[in-house]
Amino acid sequence: MKILVTGAGGFIGGELSRRLNELGHQVVTFQRGHYPQLEGDGIATIRGDLADLEAVRLAVTGCQVVFHVAALASVWGPARNFEDCNVKGTKNVIDACQHHQVPRLIFTSSPSVVFCGDHQEGIDEQVPYPDKYLAHYPRTKAIAEKSVLGANDENLSTLALRPHLVWGPGDRHLIPRILERARKGRLRLIDAPGTLIDATYIDNVIDAHIAALSALKAGSPCCGRCYFIANGEPIELHLLIAGILEAAQLEVVKPDVSPRMAWWLATLLEWLHRIPGVTGEPALTRFTAQQLSTSHWFDLSAARNDLGWEPKISTEEGLQRLARSLRPTAELTR
């Protein structure tokens, strides 16, 4: 079938596009940048902006399924940028699906849409959206998720997936940032004993999207619902980061920053970056400080029951795969 993937220039979108292509689907991608590697894999690419309704409608033409993966995923930046991409862009995708009578829309969301600043231990999808957010990203993603789920009807079946802290070979953001700071001696970790997070290996995320494609049909239990996606292996964050550093043959960094110190440092850095003329992103924000100081792990029963999905790649196996992918780079940077 013909499937559109938005945001294929990103980690999840790119891997999803390649998997769908391998499964024999006719894949079309929509993103702002030019990514020759997608075309090299035989995937059709369209360049455009999600805020441009006509461009989105054109990209959706003839598709039977849309995976809306694209988002502005950052903890810092002007509110308007997040509104245009995450809110307006998502509404344009919904409009285009309705306009072309596309029967299925699968949205890649985030657990941060329900993060209220407290520990989230074993929570399920009944947890409500918070009243306030510390960053524009989770706020606008929550608006987008509500829009997608609210669009579910007899003509358009929708669902949202909430993968948490996605990592693995091919990541161009999270892992490279960790490794760069470690090599420069600037990697600091928050010391919050007993705090557990459940990150998600990339293949498990893609498996969840493929499972959603099979399960999402008019009248199925997953219609209009959201699902947490993770590895099902809560672990202390510093241990996961230690595994990533070891995969790159770098020295392990021990946590030494208290949550309280991280909060006040983030507050100061945010204030400094609001001074006219100061550019770039703060090294730490209050939202990130809260995320790194609290537990995040989930009840995955709904995804297992409704989608028939199960995380297949363990954290241990994922780290072994990461080590193999980083080995040439590690040798060159030693």
Tokens of 202: 């990339």
Tokens of 114: 């329900």
Tally DSSP H helices, then E strands, for the chain. Answer: 13, 13
Give me the residue label for tokens 């700071």.
Answer: 181
Return phi, psi of residue 121, to 5°.
-115, 110
Report residue 188 CA to chain centroid gap. 23
Tokens of 83: 């509104």
Active site residues: 137
Is-contact 182 176, C-beta < 8 A? no
Closest C-alpha among 8, 237, 231 to residue 108? 8
Return phi, psi of residue 45, to 5°.
-125, 140
Question: Kind and range of the H or E element at 159?
Answer: strand 157-163
Task: Give the integer Cα–Cα distance in Å for 147 and 19.
Answer: 27
Q: In a 3-state reduction of DSSP, which class is residue 192?
A: coil
Tell me the β-bridge partners of 66: 4, 105
Q: In a 3-state reduction of DSSP, which class is residue 44?
A: strand
Closest C-alpha among 32, 30, 34, 136 to residue 81? 136
Task: Give the integer Cα–Cα distance in Å for 243 and 273.
Answer: 32
Q: In a 3-state reduction of DSSP, which class is residue 184?
A: coil
Q: What b/e readout covers 208-238, taking b as 16+ CB neighbours within 10 angstroms?
A: bbbbbbebbeeeeebbbbbbbbbbbbbebbb
Is-contact 88 263, C-beta < 8 A? no
The one-letter amino acid at 69: V
